[in-house]
Structure 1
Amino acid sequence: MIRARIHAVSVHLPTHVETNDDLHAQHPDWNVPEAARHTGVEQRHISAPGETALDLAEQAVLKLFTQHPQAREAVDTIIFCTQTPDHRLPPNACVLHGRLGLPRTVAAFDVNLACSGFTYSLTVAAGLIHAGSSRHVLIVNADTYTKLISPDDRSTRLLFGDGAAVTWLGPGDESSFILGSAWGTDGTLNGAFCVPGGAARLPTPPEPLPAEQDGPNRRTRDHIYMNGKTMLSFTYQMVPPHIHALLSAHDTQPDDVKQYLFHQASNMVLDGLRARLHLTDDRFPRHLAQVGNTVSASIPLLLHEQVALGRVRRGDLLCFSGFGSGLSWASVLLRY
């Protein structure tokens, strides 16, 4: 059996930063400090006009290849997870493959998932390595959600930021490998976090779409809609038992795990999960303040930071968990 492990992670963030002070200046009627206490976000990186998730991802991969030159020759598969692709077709993964000049023997495909996208992609990549179909996989997570957000929607504009991360997955050894994973879906709640329009079901018409008022928020059907109460309830009810079941399946006690690296949804979500899982702050890191909610890139961005700070080392037992749009969730238990 071939076990997989994370070899390295590289990240790239847009240059432009939008602070809470900037937002307050634009919307003096918004209670930005109060909202920030719930979100935990002090600033977020915003992609430039014409700058896409693919552009951010390419920079992250080039950083990885610079830091680990052997990765360019080793890679045989690209999994690109995004909900903001450059085109309806071809997939971002194929375009990235061409930009990087990789061999024709390299497989490339997209995954259209949001906040659970990294842990889903990690599970798929580990399965490909286990089956012998792949040996070295690049998992690319990148989104430019700020291009899907109404400038007058306080519920999403204060929360999300843009960014990219690439994770190099390859063969593991006895001290560094993925132990297992679990995932799930509740499609009955698909409307709780969505962009209703802009695709085949509700195409964007040639005339401007009317904006709809939703409490203090204003958006069109082509903008992100998020039902915060439904998402919060779903997360609190689903994630803790899901984590306990994953640990139990691998004869692992909660205290055996050094760090729990969860999708950086918001401070409110993370505070509730930490309390329900009875975890201390040092075992439940977060980095929302400086980058916001970066969707599927949030876990690898956090992992990259924790490794750089020396808080995660080789052999440490970690638990990743992603949850969100779909609604979907997935978690991975691994020795880094």
Structure 2
Amino acid sequence: MFKAYIDGISYYLPKNSLDNASISLDHPEWSIEKIAEKTGISNRWIADKDESVGDMAVKAANKFFEENNINKDEIDFLLLCTQNPDYTLPTTACIVQDKLGLPKTVGALDFNLGCSGYVYGLGLAKGLVVTGQAKKVLLITADVYSKIINEKDKSNKTLFGDAATVSLITNEPTADSFEILDFCYGTDGSGYDNLIVKNSGTNKYSESTPDEFDENGKYISNDSCLFMDGTKIFNFTAFNVPPMIKDVLAKNTMMDSDISYYVFHQANAFMLDFIRKRCKIEEDKFFVSMNDVGNTVSSSIPIALKRLVNEKSDVFNILLCGFGVGLSIGGVIIKKYESR
């Protein structure tokens, strides 16, 4: 049976900047310092009005091909993780295949996951590679949450940024590759409505819904926009991540001392620090890189992973963990390839 490796990551950030000063201008009750303190974020990148997930995926992929000198004709499968597809149908991955000029012999599909999406994508890609169905899988993550966040929603506006990433999953390692080891997954669909766009599918569809405000005039929600119950998402994360980390270590017969770095979904600074302490992870092994990009949903782990590998030299075993919308969680360890 083949092994599967991550062999290169690239990412694309849109050109429009949304910094804390801009948010504070729209919401004077939130100072620049307060936003940074609560979120650990100073800037986010926002897609153009006419820039779709498919557009961002293509830009990220072309950047990947240029940076890694990869022959497009060698790609035989395309996986696209997004919750903001170009259309309800057809699958955006098919559009991306055509725009990239990939061979018509490739497989291509979308899968709908958010903050755990990169880990699940690695699992799907590994399954294709180790069973011999594909030799080179292009795993793309791309989301444009800015298009589903209400302009009056200061809470979500401060957290989320748009981005796209591309990772190559292959059975042919190079000196820079990381082997994908064993996974653990988890799902609690009873919390599906804690992070949701209610008016977005066939269940409750209408052309428009009004903004809702509390008695003090504070924005609450709009069923056509992103809604997040931050407290319940926090509780899900706080109670489910620590046992997940233990399970991933056990499944891979490793201990904390075997792990060089931990890269979690880059949600916000407060949540990450709370989880780190709850998991008893040393601060210098816990990599955080979100200040200049925000919470980029499925792209947050690969962006941080790319930066970790570029910045640190002592990177051998990395534990990845994604968690959030679904409610969904997943973890895996990747191991630096050593040629024998």
Q: TM-score range, shorter-chain basis?
A: over 0.9
Which residue, 255, 262, 276 being the options, matches 2:278?
276
| 1:240-275 CA-partner distances (Å, limit 9, x unpaired) | 101101111221001210011110011111001110
Aligned equivalents of 1:94 and 1:202: distance in 2?
Answer: 27
Q: Which shows bigger deviation, 290-299 or 53-62?
A: 53-62
SS at match of 1:30: coil
Q: Which shows bigger deviation, 56-65 or 215-224?
A: 215-224
TM-aligned CA deviation for residue 204 of structure 1: 2.9
SS at match of 1:70: coil
Aligned equivalents of 2:313 and 2:80: distance in 1?
Answer: 27
SS at match of 2:331: strand
Unaligned runs of 5+ in 2: none
Q: Give the structure-1-normalised TM-score.
A: 0.95
Q: Which shows bigger deviation, 61-70 or 24-33?
A: 24-33
Residue in structure 2 matched with residue 165 of structure 1 by the alignment:
165
Q: Is the 8 A contact 1:152 1:217 kept in 2?
A: yes
Residue in structure 2 matched with residue 177 of structure 1 by the alignment:
179
TM-aligned CA deviation for residue 70 of structure 1: 3.0
Write out aligned runs for 1:176-325 (5 A). 176-205=178-207, 208-213=208-213, 216-311=218-313, 313=315, 316-325=316-325
SS at match of 2:108: strand
Residue in structure 2 matched with residue 8 of structure 1 by the alignment:
8
| 1:214-261 CA-partner distances (Å, limit 9, x unpaired) | 573343101110011101111010011011011112210012100111
SS at match of 1:166: strand
Aligned equivalents of 1:333 and 1:300: distance in 2?
Answer: 13
Q: Give the structure-2-normalised TM-score.
A: 0.94
- In the alignment, does 2:91 pair up with 1:91? yes
TM-aligned CA deviation for residue 31 of structure 1: 4.4
The sequence identity of aligned pairs, in percent, is: 35
TM-aligned CA deviation for residue 104 of structure 1: 1.4
Equivalent position amino acid for 2:88 in 1: R
Q: Is the 8 A contact 1:3 1:173 kept in 2?
A: no
Q: Is the 8 A contact 1:16 1:47 kept in 2?
A: yes
SS at match of 1:291: coil
- In the alignment, does 2:59 pair up with 1:43? no
SS at match of 1:122: helix
SS at match of 2:203: coil
Q: Is the 8 A contact 2:20 2:35 kept in 1?
A: no
| 1:153-180 CA-partner distances (Å, limit 9, x unpaired) | 1220110000010001101559841121
Aligned equivalents of 1:172 and 1:37: distance in 2?
Answer: 44
Equivalent position amino acid for 2:160 in 1: F
Residue in structure 1 matched with residue 133 of structure 2 by the alignment:
133
Aligned equivalents of 2:243 and 2:132: distance in 1?
Answer: 32
TM-aligned CA deviation for residue 140 of structure 1: 0.3
SS at match of 1:11: strand
The alignment of Structure 1 onto Structure 2 pairs a total of residues equal to 332
Q: Which shows bigger deviation, 59-68 or 157-166?
A: 59-68
TM-aligned CA deviation for residue 33 of structure 1: 2.7
SS at match of 2:295: coil
Unaligned runs of 5+ in 1: none
| 1:273-318 CA-partner distances (Å, limit 9, x unpaired) | 11012222321111121000000000001111112224465xx101
1:166/1:279 CA distance change after superposition, 3 Å: same
Aligned equivalents of 1:76 and 1:234: distance in 2?
Answer: 37
1:209/1:173 CA distance change after superposition, 3 Å: closer
Equivalent position amino acid for 1:225 in 2: F
Note the aligned Cα RMSD (angstroms). 1.6
